[in-house]
Structure 1
């Protein structure tokens, strides 16, 4: 076998494997981004529920969650946040939930619905 036919075989093998390798790389990037946003949502929900449990103020809790997740694009809106119950009575549990839909960079998969949730005892 000559060197030119071996070069041709290598080019064909690369042409067959290149799309698979590119898809793997893009998948790793999308998963890493989604994981980072999930961590941001969980942290923002934890901050929001902490403010709600201590101060019993839904506006301050929503603002605290938004401030904790400033890296999100598009940013969090009030429609993304739900607080249950709306009034925090001492000894009861309050649940702070953030629902967010993450658009993908590549458009291949998604969008990904993500959720951050925090639960804490009121007045504690």
Structure 2
């Protein structure tokens, strides 16, 4: 099997790390699940963690990299409301924490772009 390009490996690593974190420390993710979603926050935390693990595998494997990159871009877009909720909820936190919450908002755009680039660079 051919080795994945560096960008795809890094994106897969990001998703794998985040996916594991959803199961290892779910409470921090529960807190940013939008209240408008049906069901429990913990369920959404586990579902999104499992999705991230699946995306890590899809991006890592050449046969699924293109679809995985497209799905990753969609995922980054879909979780944006959680980042908005975090920024709103953290507006009264100390400045460094508030900065982290606000910095996540514009970070979504380059993450979507990165995922689309991985998809575009994948060999058909």
Q: TM-score under structure 2 normalisation? A: 0.31
User: Greater share of strand residues, 1 or 2?
Assistant: 1
User: Greater share of helix residues, 1 or 2?
Assistant: 2
